[in-house]
């Protein structure tokens, strides 16, 4: 159930509605003070709307990286584990940047879920979109320089889904071809993530 939040500004008093409404139309950081929006957001938060918790986790995470605010990554983890796809993407990619192999495995679990649901690229685009006007200075997020694929020279590698005219990397998910190397697929994703998330 994904309905535009606008439909709910004046209607829908039950908490199920607030719990499931999509917040896509709202920017991550609002430009204007708007009492109606604030009260709507408050109601969503009280109803444990996953979208709002994801946004809060994202903002907290970015703030801690510029020297303030809470941790964020814990909240992202909670929301990811509840099944929020964009939270899975952000949390999964942050974990894949880690030097800790166990955390990387944790990240893989979430990314595999998205791949099986055929929505890795859609999630990437949504995260990129919500962060487009947000200042990112991820000084603390340093990417593990060791590739996930440990046998780049011999493995069958991975390539984006082949379109009719060119390689499509932004329209659809990959083929999920079992003959391609899964680790190379995530190494490829880390390149995209590092660019828009400003990972060092």
* Backbone φ, ψ for residue 21 (5° rounding): -65, 140
**What are the residues whose beta carbons fall under 8 Å from the beta carbon of 68, sequence distance 6 or more?**
none
Distance CA 24, CA 4 (A): 8
Of the residues 21, 75, 119, 184, which one makes contact with Zn ion according to CB under 5 A: 184
Question: Is 102:137 a contact under the CB 8 Å cutoff?
Answer: no
Residue 95 is a binding residue for Zn ion (CB under 5 A): no
Question: Is 176:129 a contact under the CB 8 Å cutoff?
Answer: no
Residue 155 is a binding residue for Zn ion (CB under 5 A): yes
Nearer to Zn ion, 119 or 149 (CB): 149
Distance CA 176, CA 172 (A): 11
Minimum gap (Å) between residue 23 Cβ and Zn ion: 37
Distance CA 68, CA 91 (A): 19
Distance CA 143, CA 145 (A): 6
Question: Is 141:200 a contact under the CB 8 Å cutoff?
Answer: yes
Minimum gap (Å) between residue 174 Cβ and Zn ion: 14
Of the residues 76, 149, 190, 199, which one makes contact with Zn ion according to CB under 5 A: 149
Segment interacting with Zn ion (CB under 5 A) among 28-36, 108-116, 128-136, 155-163: 155-163
Nearer to Zn ion, 141 or 184 (CB): 184
Minimum gap (Å) between residue 179 Cβ and Zn ion: 11
In eight-state DSSP terms, residue 70 is -
Minimum gap (Å) between residue 151 Cβ and Zn ion: 6
Segment interacting with Zn ion (CB under 5 A) among 28-36, 100-108, 135-143, 145-153: 145-153
Residue 120 is a binding residue for Zn ion (CB under 5 A): no
Interface size with Zn ion, residues (CB under 5 A) = 5
In sequence order, the β-bridge partners of residue 162 are: 167
Minimum gap (Å) between residue 154 Cβ and Zn ion: 8
Residues near Zn ion (CB under 5 A): 149, 155, 181, 183-184
């Amino acid at each position: 159930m994904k309905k535009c939040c606008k439909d709910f500004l004046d209607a829908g008093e039950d908490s199920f509605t607030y719990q499931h409404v999509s917040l896509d139309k709202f920017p991550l950081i609002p430009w204007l003070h708007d009492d109606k929006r604030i009260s709507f957001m408050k109601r969503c938060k009280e109803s444990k709307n996953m979208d709002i918790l994801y946004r809060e986790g994202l903002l907290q995470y970015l703030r801690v990286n510029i020297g303030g605010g809470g941790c964020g990554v814990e909240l992202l983890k909670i929301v990811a584990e509840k099944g929020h796809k964009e939270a899975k993407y952000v949390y999964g990619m942050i974990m894949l940047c880690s030097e800790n192999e166990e955390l990387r495995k944790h990240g893989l679990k979430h990314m595999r879920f998205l791949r099986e649901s055929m929505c890795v690229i859609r999630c990437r685009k949504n995260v990129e979109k919500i962060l487009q006007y947000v200042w990112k200075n991820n000084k603390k997020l340093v990417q593990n320089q060791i590739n996930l694929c440990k046998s780049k020279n011999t493995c069958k590698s991975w390539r984006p889904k082949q379109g009719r005219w060119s390689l499509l990397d932004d329209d659809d998910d990959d083929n999920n071809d079992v003959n391609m190397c899964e680790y190379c697929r995530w190494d490829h994703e880390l390149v995209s993530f590092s660019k828009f998330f400003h990972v060092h």
